[in-house]
Homo-oligomer: A and B are copies of this chain.
Amino acid sequence: MTAQTDALGSLKDRFRRRSLIEDALAMLYWDRSTLMPDGAADARTDQIAELTRMAREILVAAETSDLLDQAEQATASLAPLDARDLHLMRRAFLLETAVPADLVEAAQRVGARSEMAWRQNRAANDFAAQQPFLQEIMRLTQETAKVRGAAMGLAPYDAQLELFEPGLRDTEVTPVFADLKRWLPDLVQQILDRQAQAPEPTEPAGPFPVPMQKELGEGFMRALGFDFTRGRLDESLHPFTGGIPDDSRLTTRYATDGFAEAMMGILHETGHALYEQGLPADRRHRMVGRSGGMALHESQSLVIEMQLCRGPAFLDHALPLIRQTFGDQPALETANFNRLTTRVERGLIRVDADEATYPLHIILRHGIEKALLSGDLAIADLPGAWNDGMADIVGIRPADNRNGCLQDIHWMDGAIGYFPTYTLGALAAAQLMAAMRSALPDLDSQVRAGDFSQLLGWLRRHVHTRGLDATTGEIIRDATGSPLAADAFRTHLEARYLN
Protein backbone atom coordinates (compact mmCIF):
# COMPACT_ATOMS: atom_id res chain seq x y z
CA MET A 1 0.00 0.00 0.00
CA THR A 2 1.45 3.34 -1.03
CA ALA A 3 1.34 6.40 1.19
CA GLN A 4 -1.25 7.91 -1.17
CA THR A 5 -3.73 5.02 -1.06
CA ASP A 6 -3.11 4.86 2.67
CA ALA A 7 -4.02 8.55 2.83
CA LEU A 8 -7.20 7.91 0.85
CA GLY A 9 -8.12 5.11 3.27
CA SER A 10 -7.64 7.39 6.25
CA LEU A 11 -9.72 10.08 4.56
CA LYS A 12 -12.52 7.62 3.89
CA ASP A 13 -12.47 6.69 7.55
CA ARG A 14 -12.61 10.32 8.63
CA PHE A 15 -15.49 11.08 6.24
CA ARG A 16 -17.28 7.96 7.40
CA ARG A 17 -17.10 9.17 10.99
CA ARG A 18 -18.31 12.60 9.96
CA SER A 19 -21.19 11.01 8.05
CA LEU A 20 -22.22 8.93 11.05
CA ILE A 21 -22.39 12.06 13.21
CA GLU A 22 -24.41 13.80 10.50
CA ASP A 23 -26.78 10.83 10.45
CA ALA A 24 -27.27 11.13 14.20
CA LEU A 25 -27.90 14.84 13.68
CA ALA A 26 -30.50 14.02 11.02
CA MET A 27 -32.46 12.06 13.60
CA LEU A 28 -32.20 14.85 16.18
CA TYR A 29 -33.44 17.37 13.60
CA TRP A 30 -36.30 15.10 12.54
CA ASP A 31 -37.37 14.56 16.14
CA ARG A 32 -37.19 18.30 16.81
CA SER A 33 -39.68 18.98 14.00
CA THR A 34 -42.08 16.18 14.85
CA LEU A 35 -42.20 15.00 18.46
CA MET A 36 -39.96 17.10 20.67
CA PRO A 37 -41.76 18.96 23.44
CA ASP A 38 -41.20 22.73 23.46
CA GLY A 39 -39.33 22.78 26.74
CA ALA A 40 -36.57 20.61 25.28
CA ALA A 41 -35.61 23.17 22.65
CA ASP A 42 -32.57 24.59 24.45
CA ALA A 43 -31.24 21.16 25.36
CA ARG A 44 -31.65 19.99 21.76
CA THR A 45 -29.90 23.10 20.45
CA ASP A 46 -26.94 22.31 22.72
CA GLN A 47 -26.80 18.67 21.56
CA ILE A 48 -26.96 19.72 17.92
CA ALA A 49 -24.29 22.36 18.41
CA GLU A 50 -21.92 19.85 20.01
CA LEU A 51 -22.42 17.18 17.34
CA THR A 52 -22.13 19.77 14.58
CA ARG A 53 -18.90 21.03 16.12
CA MET A 54 -17.49 17.51 16.25
CA ALA A 55 -18.46 16.72 12.66
CA ARG A 56 -16.86 19.97 11.54
CA GLU A 57 -13.72 19.30 13.60
CA ILE A 58 -13.15 16.03 11.75
CA LEU A 59 -13.47 17.85 8.42
CA VAL A 60 -11.32 20.91 9.06
CA ALA A 61 -8.56 19.23 11.09
CA ALA A 62 -5.00 19.84 9.92
CA GLU A 63 -4.70 16.07 9.52
CA THR A 64 -7.54 16.07 6.99
CA SER A 65 -5.81 18.80 5.03
CA ASP A 66 -2.52 16.86 5.03
CA LEU A 67 -4.24 13.65 3.97
CA LEU A 68 -6.00 15.46 1.10
CA ASP A 69 -2.67 16.84 -0.12
CA GLN A 70 -1.10 13.40 0.07
CA ALA A 71 -3.95 11.56 -1.59
CA GLU A 72 -4.22 14.08 -4.42
CA GLN A 73 -0.69 13.26 -5.52
CA ALA A 74 -2.05 9.93 -6.74
CA THR A 75 -5.32 11.15 -8.29
CA ALA A 76 -4.25 10.07 -11.77
CA SER A 77 -3.86 6.46 -10.71
CA LEU A 78 -7.12 6.25 -8.79
CA ALA A 79 -10.19 4.35 -9.92
CA PRO A 80 -12.75 6.88 -11.24
CA LEU A 81 -15.06 6.49 -8.24
CA ASP A 82 -12.20 7.05 -5.81
CA ALA A 83 -11.04 10.07 -7.78
CA ARG A 84 -14.54 11.49 -7.68
CA ASP A 85 -14.72 10.71 -3.94
CA LEU A 86 -11.46 12.55 -3.38
CA HIS A 87 -12.69 15.51 -5.42
CA LEU A 88 -15.86 15.70 -3.30
CA MET A 89 -13.85 15.46 -0.09
CA ARG A 90 -11.66 18.36 -1.23
CA ARG A 91 -14.81 20.28 -2.18
CA ALA A 92 -16.32 19.69 1.28
CA PHE A 93 -13.07 20.76 2.90
CA LEU A 94 -12.91 23.94 0.84
CA LEU A 95 -16.56 24.81 1.42
CA GLU A 96 -15.87 24.62 5.15
CA THR A 97 -12.45 26.26 5.27
CA ALA A 98 -12.10 28.65 2.33
CA VAL A 99 -13.79 31.53 4.09
CA PRO A 100 -12.04 32.71 7.27
CA ALA A 101 -13.90 31.81 10.46
CA ASP A 102 -14.49 35.41 11.55
CA LEU A 103 -16.11 36.24 8.22
CA VAL A 104 -18.29 33.11 8.39
CA GLU A 105 -19.37 34.02 11.89
CA ALA A 106 -20.09 37.63 10.96
CA ALA A 107 -22.27 36.44 8.06
CA GLN A 108 -24.10 33.95 10.29
CA ARG A 109 -24.70 36.58 12.95
CA VAL A 110 -25.99 39.15 10.49
CA GLY A 111 -28.01 36.48 8.69
CA ALA A 112 -29.72 35.40 11.91
CA ARG A 113 -30.50 39.01 12.84
CA SER A 114 -31.72 39.78 9.35
CA GLU A 115 -33.98 36.73 9.28
CA MET A 116 -35.43 37.63 12.66
CA ALA A 117 -36.07 41.22 11.59
CA TRP A 118 -37.62 39.98 8.35
CA ARG A 119 -40.33 38.06 10.20
CA GLN A 120 -41.57 41.37 11.61
CA ASN A 121 -40.81 43.58 8.63
CA ARG A 122 -42.56 41.33 6.17
CA ALA A 123 -45.66 41.26 8.35
CA ALA A 124 -45.47 45.05 8.66
CA ASN A 125 -44.79 45.45 4.92
CA ASP A 126 -41.80 47.62 5.91
CA PHE A 127 -39.05 47.39 3.32
CA ALA A 128 -37.25 50.44 4.70
CA ALA A 129 -36.77 48.66 8.04
CA GLN A 130 -35.40 45.55 6.32
CA GLN A 131 -33.14 47.47 3.95
CA PRO A 132 -30.12 47.92 6.28
CA PHE A 133 -30.15 44.20 7.15
CA LEU A 134 -30.32 43.26 3.49
CA GLN A 135 -27.50 45.66 2.66
CA GLU A 136 -25.29 44.19 5.36
CA ILE A 137 -26.01 40.56 4.54
CA MET A 138 -25.49 41.26 0.84
CA ARG A 139 -22.17 42.95 1.52
CA LEU A 140 -21.01 39.93 3.53
CA THR A 141 -22.33 37.50 0.92
CA GLN A 142 -20.42 39.35 -1.79
CA GLU A 143 -17.29 39.04 0.31
CA THR A 144 -17.69 35.35 1.19
CA ALA A 145 -18.60 34.47 -2.42
CA LYS A 146 -15.48 36.24 -3.65
CA VAL A 147 -13.21 34.51 -1.13
CA ARG A 148 -14.78 31.10 -1.66
CA GLY A 149 -14.72 31.58 -5.41
CA ALA A 150 -11.04 32.45 -5.33
CA ALA A 151 -10.24 29.30 -3.34
CA MET A 152 -12.30 27.08 -5.65
CA GLY A 153 -11.55 28.81 -8.96
CA LEU A 154 -15.11 30.01 -9.40
CA ALA A 155 -16.78 33.29 -10.21
CA PRO A 156 -18.72 34.65 -7.20
CA TYR A 157 -22.18 33.60 -8.42
CA ASP A 158 -20.90 30.13 -9.31
CA ALA A 159 -19.39 29.95 -5.82
CA GLN A 160 -22.92 30.55 -4.52
CA LEU A 161 -24.51 27.94 -6.82
CA GLU A 162 -21.86 25.47 -5.63
CA LEU A 163 -23.28 25.70 -2.11
CA PHE A 164 -26.55 24.14 -3.25
CA GLU A 165 -25.66 22.03 -6.28
CA PRO A 166 -22.18 20.52 -6.68
CA GLY A 167 -20.64 21.43 -10.01
CA LEU A 168 -23.49 23.61 -11.26
CA ARG A 169 -22.32 26.66 -13.21
CA ASP A 170 -24.31 29.68 -14.28
CA THR A 171 -23.36 28.91 -17.88
CA GLU A 172 -25.79 25.99 -17.52
CA VAL A 173 -28.49 28.14 -15.98
CA THR A 174 -28.62 31.40 -17.91
CA PRO A 175 -29.21 30.00 -21.43
CA VAL A 176 -31.92 27.62 -20.20
CA PHE A 177 -33.70 30.38 -18.30
CA ALA A 178 -33.39 32.67 -21.31
CA ASP A 179 -35.05 30.00 -23.43
CA LEU A 180 -37.87 29.62 -20.89
CA LYS A 181 -38.35 33.36 -20.76
CA ARG A 182 -38.81 33.44 -24.52
CA TRP A 183 -41.79 31.10 -24.73
CA LEU A 184 -43.19 30.41 -21.27
CA PRO A 185 -45.12 33.69 -20.75
CA ASP A 186 -46.97 33.13 -24.02
CA LEU A 187 -47.62 29.52 -23.18
CA VAL A 188 -49.03 30.50 -19.79
CA GLN A 189 -51.39 32.90 -21.57
CA GLN A 190 -52.52 30.11 -23.91
CA ILE A 191 -53.11 27.85 -20.93
CA LEU A 192 -55.13 30.51 -19.16
CA ASP A 193 -57.23 31.14 -22.26
CA ARG A 194 -57.92 27.47 -22.61
CA GLN A 195 -58.65 27.06 -18.92
CA ALA A 196 -61.18 29.91 -19.11
CA GLN A 197 -63.24 27.87 -21.55
CA ALA A 198 -63.51 24.90 -19.17
CA PRO A 199 -65.92 24.80 -16.22
CA GLU A 200 -64.64 26.03 -12.85
CA PRO A 201 -63.60 22.99 -10.81
CA THR A 202 -65.39 22.38 -7.51
CA GLU A 203 -63.55 21.48 -4.29
CA PRO A 204 -64.30 18.12 -2.65
CA ALA A 205 -66.39 18.55 0.48
CA GLY A 206 -65.05 17.22 3.77
CA PRO A 207 -64.55 16.38 6.50
CA PHE A 208 -61.70 14.03 5.60
CA PRO A 209 -60.64 12.22 8.79
CA VAL A 210 -56.89 12.24 9.35
CA PRO A 211 -56.51 8.46 9.93
CA MET A 212 -58.14 7.83 6.54
CA GLN A 213 -55.87 10.37 4.85
CA LYS A 214 -52.87 8.73 6.45
CA GLU A 215 -53.89 5.25 5.36
CA LEU A 216 -54.51 6.45 1.83
CA GLY A 217 -51.16 8.23 1.74
CA GLU A 218 -49.30 5.22 3.09
CA GLY A 219 -51.01 3.08 0.49
CA PHE A 220 -49.71 5.31 -2.31
CA MET A 221 -46.25 5.37 -0.74
CA ARG A 222 -46.19 1.58 -0.59
CA ALA A 223 -47.41 1.23 -4.17
CA LEU A 224 -44.74 3.67 -5.38
CA GLY A 225 -42.08 1.51 -3.74
CA PHE A 226 -41.40 3.29 -0.47
CA ASP A 227 -39.81 0.74 1.88
CA PHE A 228 -41.57 1.00 5.24
CA THR A 229 -38.95 -1.24 6.84
CA ARG A 230 -36.57 1.67 6.22
CA GLY A 231 -38.73 4.69 6.83
CA ARG A 232 -41.86 6.24 8.32
CA LEU A 233 -44.60 8.79 7.68
CA ASP A 234 -45.31 11.28 10.48
CA GLU A 235 -46.65 14.79 10.93
CA SER A 236 -45.00 18.16 11.25
CA LEU A 237 -45.84 21.83 10.76
CA HIS A 238 -44.03 21.94 7.41
CA PRO A 239 -43.76 18.73 5.36
CA PHE A 240 -40.20 17.54 4.81
CA THR A 241 -38.12 14.43 4.25
CA GLY A 242 -35.60 13.86 7.00
CA GLY A 243 -33.61 10.98 8.36
CA ILE A 244 -31.11 8.93 6.40
CA PRO A 245 -31.24 6.50 3.44
CA ASP A 246 -31.95 3.50 5.69
CA ASP A 247 -34.41 5.43 7.83
CA SER A 248 -36.19 7.96 5.62
CA ARG A 249 -38.69 9.96 7.59
CA LEU A 250 -41.36 11.80 5.70
CA THR A 251 -43.75 14.22 7.23
CA THR A 252 -46.90 15.90 6.07
CA ARG A 253 -49.56 18.14 7.54
CA TYR A 254 -53.23 17.21 7.45
CA ALA A 255 -56.31 19.39 7.34
CA THR A 256 -59.73 17.82 7.68
CA ASP A 257 -61.48 20.16 5.21
CA GLY A 258 -59.40 18.94 2.29
CA PHE A 259 -57.15 16.00 1.51
CA ALA A 260 -55.49 16.91 -1.79
CA GLU A 261 -52.81 19.18 -0.34
CA ALA A 262 -51.65 16.66 2.28
CA MET A 263 -51.81 13.87 -0.31
CA MET A 264 -49.78 15.79 -2.89
CA GLY A 265 -47.38 16.72 -0.06
CA ILE A 266 -46.92 13.04 0.78
CA LEU A 267 -46.37 12.18 -2.89
CA HIS A 268 -43.83 15.00 -3.26
CA GLU A 269 -41.89 13.89 -0.18
CA THR A 270 -42.15 10.27 -1.32
CA GLY A 271 -40.19 11.28 -4.41
CA HIS A 272 -37.44 12.69 -2.20
CA ALA A 273 -37.51 9.61 0.02
CA LEU A 274 -37.44 7.09 -2.84
CA TYR A 275 -34.26 8.82 -4.00
CA GLU A 276 -32.70 8.56 -0.53
CA GLN A 277 -33.74 4.93 -0.10
CA GLY A 278 -32.32 4.14 -3.53
CA LEU A 279 -28.85 5.57 -2.93
CA PRO A 280 -26.09 2.96 -3.44
CA ALA A 281 -25.98 0.83 -0.26
CA ASP A 282 -22.37 -0.16 -0.88
CA ARG A 283 -21.29 3.48 -0.73
CA ARG A 284 -22.92 4.45 2.58
CA HIS A 285 -20.95 7.17 4.38
CA ARG A 286 -18.87 7.93 1.30
CA MET A 287 -19.17 11.29 -0.43
CA VAL A 288 -19.86 9.46 -3.72
CA GLY A 289 -22.75 7.66 -2.05
CA ARG A 290 -24.64 10.80 -1.13
CA SER A 291 -27.60 12.30 -2.92
CA GLY A 292 -26.98 15.08 -5.42
CA GLY A 293 -27.69 18.76 -4.96
CA MET A 294 -31.00 20.54 -4.52
CA ALA A 295 -31.82 20.50 -8.25
CA LEU A 296 -31.44 16.75 -8.62
CA HIS A 297 -33.26 16.11 -5.35
CA GLU A 298 -36.12 18.36 -6.42
CA SER A 299 -36.25 16.54 -9.79
CA GLN A 300 -36.96 13.34 -7.87
CA SER A 301 -39.81 14.81 -5.86
CA LEU A 302 -41.26 16.50 -8.94
CA VAL A 303 -40.99 13.49 -11.21
CA ILE A 304 -43.25 11.70 -8.72
CA GLU A 305 -45.57 14.53 -7.70
CA MET A 306 -45.81 16.73 -10.81
CA GLN A 307 -44.91 14.45 -13.68
CA LEU A 308 -46.48 11.22 -12.44
CA CYS A 309 -49.13 11.91 -9.82
CA ARG A 310 -50.80 14.96 -11.32
CA GLY A 311 -50.99 13.17 -14.65
CA PRO A 312 -54.14 11.44 -15.98
CA ALA A 313 -52.82 7.87 -15.78
CA PHE A 314 -52.06 8.15 -12.06
CA LEU A 315 -55.38 9.82 -11.37
CA ASP A 316 -57.11 6.91 -13.12
CA HIS A 317 -55.38 4.67 -10.59
CA ALA A 318 -55.82 6.94 -7.59
CA LEU A 319 -59.33 8.30 -7.85
CA PRO A 320 -61.13 4.97 -7.33
CA LEU A 321 -59.05 4.50 -4.18
CA ILE A 322 -59.79 8.05 -3.06
CA ARG A 323 -63.54 7.57 -3.63
CA GLN A 324 -63.38 4.22 -1.84
CA THR A 325 -61.74 5.92 1.14
CA PHE A 326 -63.83 9.06 1.47
CA GLY A 327 -67.03 8.12 -0.35
CA ASP A 328 -68.09 9.28 -3.78
CA GLN A 329 -68.94 12.86 -4.67
CA PRO A 330 -69.02 14.76 -7.99
CA ALA A 331 -65.85 16.73 -7.13
CA LEU A 332 -63.97 13.43 -7.15
CA GLU A 333 -64.85 12.65 -10.77
CA THR A 334 -61.82 12.49 -13.03
CA ALA A 335 -62.43 15.60 -15.11
CA ASN A 336 -63.09 17.82 -12.12
CA PHE A 337 -60.27 16.48 -9.96
CA ASN A 338 -57.87 16.74 -12.87
CA ARG A 339 -58.81 20.41 -13.29
CA LEU A 340 -58.20 20.95 -9.59
CA THR A 341 -54.71 19.45 -9.58
CA THR A 342 -53.63 21.24 -12.76
CA ARG A 343 -55.05 24.68 -12.05
CA VAL A 344 -52.91 27.51 -13.45
CA GLU A 345 -52.99 31.08 -12.16
CA ARG A 346 -50.84 34.18 -12.31
CA GLY A 347 -50.10 34.82 -8.66
CA LEU A 348 -47.84 37.00 -6.57
CA ILE A 349 -46.52 34.28 -4.27
CA ARG A 350 -43.93 31.75 -5.43
CA VAL A 351 -44.75 28.99 -2.93
CA ASP A 352 -48.39 29.02 -4.06
CA ALA A 353 -47.50 28.90 -7.77
CA ASP A 354 -48.45 26.06 -10.12
CA GLU A 355 -45.91 24.23 -12.26
CA ALA A 356 -46.51 26.45 -15.32
CA THR A 357 -45.96 29.83 -13.68
CA TYR A 358 -43.43 28.73 -11.06
CA PRO A 359 -40.40 29.04 -13.38
CA LEU A 360 -41.35 32.65 -14.13
CA HIS A 361 -41.01 33.47 -10.43
CA ILE A 362 -37.59 31.83 -10.44
CA ILE A 363 -36.35 33.54 -13.58
CA LEU A 364 -37.16 36.88 -11.97
CA ARG A 365 -35.21 35.96 -8.83
CA HIS A 366 -32.28 34.57 -10.80
CA GLY A 367 -31.81 37.82 -12.68
CA ILE A 368 -32.19 39.97 -9.60
CA GLU A 369 -29.92 37.95 -7.33
CA LYS A 370 -27.12 37.97 -9.88
CA ALA A 371 -27.43 41.74 -10.15
CA LEU A 372 -27.48 42.09 -6.36
CA LEU A 373 -24.40 39.93 -5.95
CA SER A 374 -22.44 41.74 -8.65
CA GLY A 375 -23.50 45.09 -7.24
CA ASP A 376 -25.25 46.11 -10.46
CA LEU A 377 -28.48 46.41 -8.50
CA ALA A 378 -28.53 48.29 -5.20
CA ILE A 379 -30.73 47.00 -2.38
CA ALA A 380 -32.53 50.34 -2.39
CA ASP A 381 -33.64 49.61 -5.95
CA LEU A 382 -34.82 46.08 -5.21
CA PRO A 383 -38.57 46.81 -4.81
CA GLY A 384 -38.71 48.66 -8.12
CA ALA A 385 -36.77 46.00 -9.96
CA TRP A 386 -38.96 43.31 -8.40
CA ASN A 387 -42.26 44.94 -9.25
CA ASP A 388 -41.22 45.76 -12.81
CA GLY A 389 -39.87 42.22 -13.25
CA MET A 390 -43.08 40.66 -11.94
CA ALA A 391 -45.17 42.74 -14.35
CA ASP A 392 -42.84 41.88 -17.21
CA ILE A 393 -42.25 38.17 -16.55
CA VAL A 394 -45.19 36.89 -14.52
CA GLY A 395 -47.65 39.45 -15.83
CA ILE A 396 -48.91 40.73 -12.49
CA ARG A 397 -47.65 43.67 -10.40
CA PRO A 398 -47.50 43.45 -6.57
CA ALA A 399 -49.32 46.14 -4.67
CA ASP A 400 -46.91 45.95 -1.74
CA ASN A 401 -43.52 44.54 -0.78
CA ARG A 402 -44.96 41.99 1.61
CA ASN A 403 -46.34 40.17 -1.43
CA GLY A 404 -43.36 41.29 -3.46
CA CYS A 405 -39.65 41.27 -2.74
CA LEU A 406 -40.13 40.56 1.00
CA GLN A 407 -42.02 37.29 0.51
CA ASP A 408 -39.14 34.79 0.58
CA ILE A 409 -36.74 33.99 3.38
CA HIS A 410 -33.81 33.03 1.12
CA TRP A 411 -32.09 36.34 0.48
CA MET A 412 -32.74 37.53 4.03
CA ASP A 413 -29.97 35.33 5.35
CA GLY A 414 -27.83 35.45 2.24
CA ALA A 415 -28.95 32.30 0.41
CA ILE A 416 -28.11 33.64 -3.05
CA GLY A 417 -27.95 30.85 -5.63
CA TYR A 418 -30.65 28.62 -4.16
CA PHE A 419 -33.65 29.70 -6.24
CA PRO A 420 -32.49 28.33 -9.63
CA THR A 421 -32.37 24.77 -8.28
CA TYR A 422 -36.18 24.69 -7.99
CA THR A 423 -36.72 25.24 -11.68
CA LEU A 424 -33.74 23.17 -12.78
CA GLY A 425 -35.36 20.37 -10.78
CA ALA A 426 -38.67 20.85 -12.58
CA LEU A 427 -36.96 20.83 -15.98
CA ALA A 428 -34.94 17.76 -15.07
CA ALA A 429 -38.10 15.97 -13.91
CA ALA A 430 -39.77 16.64 -17.26
CA GLN A 431 -36.71 15.51 -19.17
CA LEU A 432 -36.38 12.33 -17.08
CA MET A 433 -40.06 11.52 -17.54
CA ALA A 434 -39.77 11.95 -21.31
CA ALA A 435 -36.79 9.58 -21.37
CA MET A 436 -38.68 7.13 -19.18
CA ARG A 437 -41.66 7.20 -21.54
CA SER A 438 -39.38 6.35 -24.46
CA ALA A 439 -37.79 3.51 -22.53
CA LEU A 440 -41.10 2.24 -21.11
CA PRO A 441 -43.71 2.64 -23.84
CA ASP A 442 -46.17 0.74 -21.70
CA LEU A 443 -45.76 3.11 -18.74
CA ASP A 444 -49.24 4.64 -18.71
CA SER A 445 -51.04 1.32 -18.59
CA GLN A 446 -48.69 0.13 -15.82
CA VAL A 447 -49.46 3.30 -13.87
CA ARG A 448 -53.20 2.89 -14.40
CA ALA A 449 -52.86 -0.63 -12.95
CA GLY A 450 -50.99 0.73 -9.94
CA ASP A 451 -47.73 -0.91 -10.98
CA PHE A 452 -44.84 1.51 -10.48
CA SER A 453 -42.06 -1.04 -10.37
CA GLN A 454 -40.62 -0.32 -13.82
CA LEU A 455 -40.82 3.41 -13.25
CA LEU A 456 -38.97 3.06 -9.95
CA GLY A 457 -36.51 0.63 -11.51
CA TRP A 458 -35.67 3.17 -14.21
CA LEU A 459 -35.13 5.96 -11.67
CA ARG A 460 -33.07 3.64 -9.47
CA ARG A 461 -30.84 2.69 -12.38
CA HIS A 462 -30.43 6.09 -14.01
CA VAL A 463 -30.49 8.41 -11.00
CA HIS A 464 -30.71 6.95 -7.49
CA THR A 465 -27.92 4.39 -7.54
CA ARG A 466 -25.52 6.89 -9.08
CA GLY A 467 -25.25 8.79 -5.82
CA LEU A 468 -22.83 11.62 -6.38
CA ASP A 469 -20.65 9.81 -8.91
CA ALA A 470 -21.14 12.75 -11.30
CA THR A 471 -22.68 16.21 -11.39
CA THR A 472 -26.41 16.67 -11.82
CA GLY A 473 -25.78 17.90 -15.36
CA GLU A 474 -23.86 14.73 -16.19
CA ILE A 475 -26.40 12.43 -14.56
CA ILE A 476 -29.28 14.04 -16.48
CA ARG A 477 -27.33 13.88 -19.75
CA ASP A 478 -26.45 10.21 -19.19
CA ALA A 479 -30.06 9.36 -18.28
CA THR A 480 -31.76 11.25 -21.08
CA GLY A 481 -29.18 11.55 -23.85
CA SER A 482 -29.20 15.36 -23.82
CA PRO A 483 -27.95 18.13 -21.58
CA LEU A 484 -30.46 19.65 -19.21
CA ALA A 485 -32.75 21.98 -21.18
CA ALA A 486 -36.30 23.30 -21.19
CA ASP A 487 -37.61 21.42 -24.26
CA ALA A 488 -39.09 18.42 -22.44
CA PHE A 489 -40.72 20.76 -19.94
CA ARG A 490 -42.33 22.71 -22.81
CA THR A 491 -43.58 19.52 -24.43
CA HIS A 492 -44.93 18.38 -21.07
CA LEU A 493 -46.83 21.64 -20.46
CA GLU A 494 -48.27 21.62 -23.95
CA ALA A 495 -49.39 18.02 -23.62
CA ARG A 496 -50.92 18.46 -20.18
CA TYR A 497 -52.52 21.88 -20.59
CA LEU A 498 -53.22 22.43 -24.28
CA ASN A 499 -54.39 19.03 -25.52
Give residues in A with beta carbon < 8 Å to B: 17, 20-21, 23-24, 27-28, 31, 35-40, 42-44, 46-47, 50-51, 54, 227-232, 244-247, 284
Contact = CB atoms under 8 A, between A and B. Distances in A.
Contacts of A43: 23, 244-247, 284
Nearest to A47: B24
B247 A44 contact: yes
B31 A47 contact: no
A283 to B, nearest CB: 14
B37 A230 contact: yes
A20 B52 CA distance: 12
Given A21-B50, A247-B44, A39 B232 contact: no
Contacts of A247: 36-37, 39-40, 43-44
Contacts of A230: 37, 39-40
By CB atoms of chain B within 10 A, which of A43, A228, A231 has the most?
Answer: A43
B47 A23 contact: yes
Number of copies: 2
A50 B230 CA distance: 21
Given A24-B47, A43-B246, 5 more contacts: A20-B50, A24-B51, A39-B246, A42-B246, A43-B244
B35 A232 contact: yes
B31 A27 contact: yes
Contacts of A31: 27, 31
Contacts of A38: 229
A416 B107 CA distance: 55
Q: Is the interface of A mostly helix, strand, loop or mixed?
A: helix
A55 to B, nearest CB: 10
A37 B244 contact: no
Contact of A17 (B21, B44, B50): B50
A152 B303 CA distance: 63
Q: Closest 3 interchain pairs by CB?
A: A40-B247, A39-B229, A39-B230
A246 B17 contact: no
A44 B230 CA distance: 11
16 contacts: A20-B47, A21-B47, A24-B24, A24-B51, A36-B247, A37-B229, A37-B231, A37-B232, A39-B247, A40-B244, A40-B246, A40-B247, A42-B246, A43-B244, A43-B246, A54-B54
Nearest to A284: B43
A35 B36 CA distance: 13
Contacts of A229: 37-39
A333 to B, nearest CB: 36
Contact of A228 (B37, B54, B245): B37
A39 B244 CA distance: 12
A476 B20 CA distance: 42
Contact of A51 (B21, B44, B246): B21
Contacts of A37: 228-232, 247
Contacts of A46: 20, 23
A423 B286 CA distance: 50
Nearest to A53: B17
A51 B47 CA distance: 12
A73 to B, nearest CB: 29
A261 to B, nearest CB: 25
A245 B46 CA distance: 14
A13 to B, nearest CB: 11
A310 to B, nearest CB: 29
Nearest to A35: B232
Contacts of A39: 227, 229-230, 246-247
A492 to B, nearest CB: 35
A31 B245 CA distance: 16
A52 to B, nearest CB: 11
Contacts of A244: 40, 43
A24 B39 CA distance: 16
Contacts of A23: 43, 46-47
Nearest to A42: B246
A50 B31 CA distance: 20
A244 B43 CA distance: 9
Contacts of A40: 230, 244, 246-247
A248 to B, nearest CB: 9
Nearest to A25: B24
Nearest to A49: B20
Contacts of A54: 21, 54
A227 B38 CA distance: 11
Contacts of A21: 47, 50-51, 54
A35 B228 CA distance: 12
A57 to B, nearest CB: 10
